[in-house]
Amino acid sequence: MAAVKAPEIITDKAQMRQWSRSMRAQGKSIGLVPTMGYLHEGHLSLIREAHKHTHLIVVSVYVNPGQFSPNEDLSTYPSDFDGDIKKIMSVPGGADVVFHPHNLYDYGESGVENEMKREKDGVIMSCVEDRGMGHETWVRVDRLEKGMCGKSRPVFFRGVATVVSKLFNIVEPDVAVFGKKDYQQWRIIRRMVRDLDFAVTVIGSEIVRGDDGLAMSSRNVHLSPNEREKALSISKSLSKAKYAAEKGQINCTELRNSVIQAIHEAGGRVDYAEIVDQESLEAVEEINVHVVFCIAAWFGKVRLIDNMEINL
């Protein structure tokens, strides 16, 4: 078996765009897998999925400050770029390019202070605004971003939609692959692409779980062994709720209460537990449409998200 060659590493926006356009001029299609690095098997499954749809693969590795507020965990987000390259090369076919920009919000205007620096009390800023980088254009998907993760992280999806728009404009992919573990994010990106007429096909890839059932996440590294064991209550209770729904229990309040109780008994703190329509993300009272049961919960200092689609 031939060794997978190392991907070309591009850090400059103009160089990245030039590469994509030269490849497309040769009749090649391009798939993008956006990541924030510290890759795990879930990310690698996205690369494998992308290989099914395009000739060439670009993996972006960029921790996006725009989706973190100043009091969130940007500074502690794990990083291992050399390890990421080795993991990418472990995938059959690997990636053709790793786009690893230093700062997508640096416009060469270091002296410009954003007006948000003088915000009134109560205005939620992103880390970008907090640092006064002059960035003031944001992409919002108004309704889909309001619930679930949007309630406790009010700048998160604005930052995600904006940086994904930037990546689409820089890389100019034909296909982009996102993990469905971040279900709300996936739906928001799909809606944004539809509404703004991006020429990108957005594919959702199924959740990858560890052998114990925990949904893979870069943040799992911060769980102690005891916390990880307790966190299994998330996937276990979701599976039980799905089984109960398939057996005729369609009352969402009862299903939600059963999952919340299981997580509390395991020592977790629930941020939200919502059963929502898969397309609109609107909460439902009874399961009579295709729904997804979405959970966010804290174990120790780690916030975990998970979900399970229920298609009756």
Query: How long a stretch of residues is the chain?
Result: 312
CA dihedral (79, 123, 160, 151) positive or negative: positive
55 as an active site residue: the answer is no
Token pair of 234, please?
Answer: 């998330």
In the set 40, 43, 55, 135, the catalytic residue is 43
Provide the edge-to-edge strand list for the sheet that holds 291-299.
269-277, 291-299, 302-310
Tell me the three state secondary structure of residue 234: helix
Helix and strand numbers (H, E) in the chain are 9, 9
Alpha-carbon torsion (235, 240, 246, 249), positive or negative: negative
Torsion angle defined by CA atoms of residues 257, 258, 261 and 262, in that order, rounded to the nearest 10 degrees: -150
**For residue 185, which of 166, 168, 162 has the smallest C-alpha distance?**
162
- Strands 201-205 and 175-179 turn out to be parallel
Strands 302-310, 175-179: pairing is unpaired
How far apart, in whole angstroms, are the C-alpha atoms of residue 150 and residue 141?
11
Active site residues per annotation: 43
